[in-house]
Amino acid sequence: MRKYVDGHTHLWPKESLTQEMRERGETVGYSIPDINVSEVVREMDEADIDFVVVIAYPMRKLWNAREDFPLRVIDACKEYPDRFSIVGGIEVNELTTEEVKKWLEVQYSSGVTGFKLHPPHMWVKPNDYREEERGLKGLELLYQFAEDHDLPVIIHTGTSFFLTARNKYADPVFVDDVAVDFPKLRVIMAHMGRPSWTSAAFQLVRIRRNVYGDLSSIPPKRLTEYLPRVDEIADKLIYGSDAGGPGVKGLKAHLTEFLNSGVSLRTKEVMTRDNPRKFFRVIER
Ligand SMILES: [Zn+2]
């Protein structure tokens, strides 16, 4: 068996993109790269990567990707169902509760392995289901569904430079309510709040049993600068490159850098091999 898992990428096959997604990239500050699935698989083989997690969530405010986007990604990866794991998502503040229910079922039966919530891109706070916040019923449905089906929810934390992003939604502290209100739900904070909120994210992982983190998009060379005590919480962290996202070198280059970084050997092992397999399943499950 191949060794590694990359737990956070945006390697969206070019067949899954709409014309609008391609065209609007420039207007929000980032053009989506042309990704060829068989080339990705070749790079994975070279890097000894077993499977990669592709995060494909709706992004109306960026380039009008909708809830069918993850279905197109699954379809585009169908020749390699054991090499890809697809995370979907629902833009709960844009849909009725009936539509949220429908899309949860559709994405689940199509084979998503979890759901991504991107607060700065979607303009929603992770705890907006609460009455003293926005009372957003669809968000509660999303968490409830994920909890009932034992699917993780990945919540983006930390800033985003996309021109339509609102970084007031980027603070990981709002994840705390989710952890308390959905005790059986496994929440993964993507990027561990980098760059401004890494110590808050670290504390949440320490004190909340069901809160985890991924280290995607943090340059491996600067990891211990952002998270000096990373080894202490290694059992709750997942390796991810963020490949396909802005400024990331690529699957293999990022993995090599991480494996050569200053964290302990045990941390490297659990993060790249054991932990991601506890959360993510490939399309062919
Ligand atoms: Zn990402």
Distance, CA 133 to ligand 1 centroid (Å)? 26
In a domain, 15, yes or no: yes
DSSP state of 274: I
Q: How far is the CA of 95 from the centre of ligand 1 (A)?
A: 23
For the chain, which ranges sit under pLDDT 70?
A: 285
* Residue 123 counted as domain residue: yes
Could you read off the pLDDT of 99-124 as tens digits, one per residue?
999 999 999 999 999 999 999 999 99
Neighbours of 166 (CB within 10 A): 15
* pLDDT score at 25: 84
Span from the CA of 149 to the centroid of ligand 1 (angstroms): 23
Structural domain contains residue 283: no
CA of 47 to the centre of ligand 1 (A): 20
> Domain containing 41: what range?
4-278
Cα(115) to centroid(ligand 1), Å: 13
Judge whether 237 lies within some domain: yes
Please tell me the predicted confidence (pLDDT) of residue 16.
Answer: 97
Q: Does residue 166 lie in a domain region? A: yes
Is the residue at 230 inside a domain? yes
Domain assignment present for residue 284? The answer is no
Does residue 285 belong to any structural domain of this protein?
A: no
Distance 73 CA to ligand 1 centre (A): 15
Distance from Cα 98 to the centre of ligand 1, integer Å: 28
pTM > 0.95: yes or no: yes
Query: Cα of 118 to ligand 1 centre, how many Å?
Result: 9
- The total number of structural domains in the chain stands at 1
C-alpha of residue 55 to centroid of ligand 1, in Å: 7
| Ligand 1: centre distance to CA 190 (Å) | 7
111 Cβ partners below 8 Å, 6+ apart? 74, 86, 283, 285
Q: Which tens digits make up the pLDDT trace of 22-37?
A: 999 888 888 888 999 9
How far is ligand 1, taken at its centre, from the CA of residue 192, in Å? Answer: 11
Eight-state DSSP code of residue 161: -
Q: Domain with 70 in it: what CATH number?
A: 3.20.20.140
3-state DSSP call for residue 129? coil
